[in-house]
Every structure is written in structure tokens, then in C-alpha cells.
Structure 1
Amino acid sequence: MDEIRFYRASEKPFGAFSNLYRREIEFEGELYPTSEHAYQAGKARKAEVKKWLMEAPSPSLLAMAAHGLYYWDVAPGWSTSKFDRMRAVLRAKFTQHADLRDLLLSTGDARLIETATVDNEVNRLWGEVNGVGRNMLGVMLMELRAELRNEAPGFDAYLVVAA
């Protein structure tokens, strides 16, 4: 496969690449129900805003609420620190769960693309909409895949997992 497109957490098998995929991770000494929770926990400036975000009834509502925060509720420097945080969260997710690591490594050299359907700035930053966007989540997953491959020689022989 040249490309693997993913978006919904429920899609088999690559929905696990979504940050909304329900898999608990430990990050910065806390346990989070999803990588989206771990990522968005760093966005809030105040503890009460973080608590409110973490109590969202679903990962998608958490993401929606976090994207709608007012400027004064966002941690200083978030626009520049968010990418490093996402990289660290993804590393935690894919190193704490062998099955997810193996799934990522199984993609070989395929281009990973988060493919959204709603055209907005956030979706064009983290993925692509109609082929347009920076696809930062896909790029970070491909970077992590390369790092994991270098850390565990022998995984480069993996074949792409068939649905």
C-alpha cells in the first residue's frame, strides 16, 4: 500500500491511529482514557479548565470543547509547544501497547493520512480534507514509526495489515 487513510476510531484496523481511539495511556504521571485526553490536558491554563475538559463524556466532545477554549484559558506558548506534546503523547501510546506499536510498524513505508470530511483549520492542520492539509498527525505517526523501527531491528520486514 502506498497510502493508509484513517479518521474514525472505530474503523478497523487503522482507527487505532486516531487520538479518539479508546486506549488508556500513562503520560506525565497521570492515566488518561485516550491520547486525545493526554494531549488536551496540556492545553488548559487553569486546573479547573483542565478538570472540566477531562470530564467531557467522550473523546470527540473533549476535542470539540478544547478547540473552542478562549485565548485566556489556553496555556501560554501552546501554539508552539503543542507539536512536541503530541509527539510525546504518541510515543507513550505506541510504546505502552505492543499491539498498537506492531500495527504502526506493520504499515511499512505507506504514507499515513488522517482524512477528515469537515473542512476547517483544525482538520487541515492535523490531517487532510479533500487532499489539502498539513497532515501533522500522519507525519508524526510516520516519524514515530521510523524511530520505533530503528529501536527494534527486524520490524522492517512487516507486511501491511489487511483489513
Structure 2
Amino acid sequence: MIDRFTDEYFFLSNFYESKVTYDGITYLNNEAAFQAMKTLDEDERRRFALLDPDAAKKAGRKVSLRADWEDVKTDLMYEICKAKFTQNDDLARKLSATGDEELVEGNSWGDRIWGKVNGQGENRLGIILMKIREELRQ
């Protein structure tokens, strides 16, 4: 099991700096792309393009939140992660190299939706990454 997206597995994190183009905008990292999708306002989205992950996360708290966010956020995370690994061959190879390991975004900041804290949580990000890993094999 890979239970933290740090060190040699930091590339699995949305905070890993790797360009990704999603919905016509190129972002410096997945976190910026994901946070940008919280709004439907194109100008607001474009402001995320050059933000580092920390700045993007903070800015994501201040956007005009789309009404359907809770309904679409998991699908958007999947699409953005899929873009990251299909647009960056080196990262696709690294993800594939994790084999059949369970991927868990263990964390200490309390995120029990996208990851797990002390083994508790939904681990949506880990599940998405394992799905993409399987799709890359096909």
C-alpha cells in the first residue's frame, strides 16, 4: 500500500507541479485546475492558470461557487487527474509502475473526502488514481 503522496510518490498529489490543460486552459498543477472548476466564470478560471497549489487552494475558497459543485466535483477530479496522466507520459509511466498497490492519500490536515486520516475516509483521490492506472494499462 502507498499511503502517502509524498517523497517518491509526490507525483500522485494534486500539489505536484506538472502542467495540465483542462477545458481550454493550461494550469501549472492539478490543484489549480480543480479549484478553477469551482466556478463557471471563465475569467475567474483563467486567474488560476499561473497559481501554485497553495495559492490556488486559497483562491478556490473565494470564487463564485457553481450551484452544482457537490454533484460534479468527483467527476471533475477524475477528468483533471486523467488529463494529468495522459498529457504527461513520464507521470503515466510512474503511475503504472505502482503496480497493484492500493493508493491512499493519507493526510494529517483532516481531509476524509479525497483521502484518509488515521485510516478513516473516502479516499476519492486514491480511488480515482487507481481507476486511471487501470485505464492506462488497457
TM-score under structure 1 normalisation? Answer: 0.77
Gaps of 5+ in 2: none
Runs of 5+ consecutive residues of structure 1 not aligned to the other structure = 151-163
Among 30, 33, 38, the alignment partner of 1:35 is 30
1:6 lines up with 2:4 in the alignment: yes
Q: How many residues align?
A: 138
Q: Which of 96, 114, 121 is residue 133 of structure 1 equivalent to?
A: 121
User: Where does residue 17 of structure 1 map in the other structure?
Assistant: 12
1:117, distance to aligned residue in structure 2 (A): 0.7
CA distance in structure 2 between the partners assigned to 1:83 and 1:115 by the alignment: 18
Q: Aligned-residue CA RMSD in angstroms?
A: 1.9
The amino acid of 1:22's aligned partner reads E
- CA contact 1:45–1:76 (8 Å) conserved in 2: no
Structure having the higher Rg: 1
Structure 2 CA distance for aligned equivalents of residues 136 and 108 of structure 1: 19
The one-letter amino acid of 1:124's match is R
The percent identity for this pair of structures is 33
Q: Tell me which residue corresponds to 1:61.
A: 55
- What per-residue deviation string (whole Å, max 9, x for no partner) do you get for residues 113-159 of structure 1? 1111122xxx1100001111100000000011111111xxxxxxxxx
* TM-score normalised by L of structure 2: 0.89
CA positional deviation for 1:61: 2.8
Q: By percentage of residues, which structure has more strand?
A: 1
AA partner of residue 37 (structure 2): G
Structure 1 consecutive aligned stretches of length 4 or more whose deviation exceeds 3 Å: 45-52
